[in-house]
Amino acid sequence: MAIFQGKPNLGVMVSNYIPAAGEVPSLHFDKNGYYETKNPFMIKRLRRKFKEVAAREPQGLNAPTPPATGLTCKKCGASGFANNGFLLAHTRKFHPKVEVK
Ligand SMILES: [Zn+2]
C-alpha cells in the first residue's frame, strides 16, 4: 500500500500500464489530492513523479497535527491531547460555556 500526494482531483494517465481485470489505465487523485494504490506497477511509476506520503494528513484543521494517541475531547471527538491541560485549553477555546442570565 502506498499513498501519493498530487493535486486535488488530478487525473493521471499512466502509459504502458496494463490494467488488471476491472481496472482502468488511469487514476484520479481524490479531492484532498491523495491517491492510494496497492498495485506495484503503479507505485513504481508514481514514485517517479509524485511525492509518496506515509499517511493521510487530516484535512480542514489549522491546528498542528495532534499525535494519534492521547486524550479525546468528548464534545467534538478531537483527539491527541497529551494531557488534561491541553484538553482543557481546547475545551475553553472551542467549547466555551454559554452563560445564560
Ligand atoms: Zn472539542
Domain ranges of the chain: 2-53, 65-101
How far is the first Cα of the chain from the last one, in angstroms, to the nearest whole number?
A: 56
Query: What is the arithmetic mean of pLDDT over 18-33?
Result: 78
Tell me the CA–centroid distance for residue 34 and ligand 1, in Å: 27
Tell me the CA–centroid distance for residue 63 and ligand 1, in Å: 12
Spell out the residues 6+ positions from residue 15 whose beta carbon is closer than 8 angstroms to its own: none
Tell me the CA–centroid distance for residue 4 and ligand 1, in Å: 30
Residue 59 has pLDDT above 70, yes or no: no
Spell out the residues 6+ positions from residue 48 whose beta carbon is closer than 8 angstroms to its own: none
Residue 2 has pLDDT above 60, yes or no: yes
Mean pLDDT of the chain: 81
Tell me the CA–centroid distance for residue 94 and ligand 1, in Å: 6
Q: Which pLDDT score, from 0 to 100, does residue 37 have? A: 85
* Angstrom distance (rounded) from CA 20 to CA 2: 18
Point out the least confidently predicted range of 46-50, 53-57, 86-90: 53-57
Tell me the CA–centroid distance for residue 80 and ligand 1, in Å: 11
Cα atoms in the Cβ-side hemisphere of radius 13 Å centred on 37: 23
Name the DSSP class of 11. Answer: E
pTM here is 0.47
Query: What is the arithmetic mean of pLDDT over 69-95?
Result: 90
Tell me the CA–centroid distance for residue 78 and ligand 1, in Å: 6
Spell out the residues 6+ positions from residue 29 whose beta carbon is closer than 8 angstroms to its own: 4, 5, 6, 7, 8, 9, 10, 11, 12, 35
Largest Cα–Cα separation, the chain: 70
